[in-house]
């Protein structure tokens, strides 16, 4: 029962500020209701830390996703450059063969 209570507290904190989906809103509502309302949710040290660190975790995740997106965009460009280089070499080789 203690673990369930802790999970519910974390859900409330994590979902409260960023409840952008119906599922997240419903989860937040259900968690608060299980305590008999928002006013009855016990504020513990771990809950307070989770709330304080939520923004930092969000920013870290955002930065990680940005880096992943950048990498996936760069990879096709590298392939294009490699293909251009191969094409140029083949054209030069064909030109030399014609001259021979």
Q: Given this model, what pLDDT does residue 100 score?
A: 67
The total number of structural domains that make up the chain = 1
Q: Given this model, what pLDDT does residue 63 score?
A: 92
Residue 87 lies inside a defined structural domain of this protein: no
Closest to 34 measured CA to CA, from 66, 74, 7, 57: 7
Residue 88 lies inside a defined structural domain of this protein: no
Residue 21 lies inside a defined structural domain of this protein: yes
Q: Given this model, what pLDDT does residue 60 score?
A: 92
Residue 23 lies inside a defined structural domain of this protein: yes
Over residues 68-90, the pLDDT tens digits come to: 887 776 677 778 888 888 888 88
Over residues 36-68, the pLDDT tens digits come to: 988 898 888 888 888 888 888 889 999 998 888
In this model, does residue 13 exceed pLDDT 60?
yes
Residue 82 lies inside a defined structural domain of this protein: no
Residue 99 lies inside a defined structural domain of this protein: no
Q: Given this model, what pLDDT does residue 49 score?
A: 86
Range of the domain at 47: 2-75
Residue 19 lies inside a defined structural domain of this protein: yes
**Measured at the alpha carbon of residue 50, what is the angle toward residues 44 and 52, in degrees to the nearest 5?**
105
**Measured at the alpha carbon of residue 31, what is the angle toward residues 47 and 19, in degrees to the nearest 5?**
80
The alpha carbon of 12 is separated from its chain's Cα centroid by a whole number of angstroms, namely 19
Closest to 15 measured CA to CA, from 4, 3, 26: 26
In this model, does residue 1 exceed pLDDT 60?
no
Residue 48 lies inside a defined structural domain of this protein: yes
CB-CB contact of 41 with 32 (8 Å): yes
């Amino acid at each position: 029962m203690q673990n369930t209570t802790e999970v519910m507290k974390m859900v409330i904190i994590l979902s409260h500020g960023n409840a952008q989906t119906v599922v997240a809103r419903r989860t937040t509502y259900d968690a608060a209701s299980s305590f008999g309302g928002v006013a009855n949710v016990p504020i513990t040290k771990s809950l307070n830390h989770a709330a304080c660190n939520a923004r930092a975790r969000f920013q870290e995740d955002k930065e990680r996703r940005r880096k992943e997106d950048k990498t996936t965009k760069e990879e096709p460009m590298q392939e294009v450059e490699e293909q251009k280089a191969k094409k140029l070499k083949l054209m030069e080789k064909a030109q030399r063969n014609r001259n021979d």
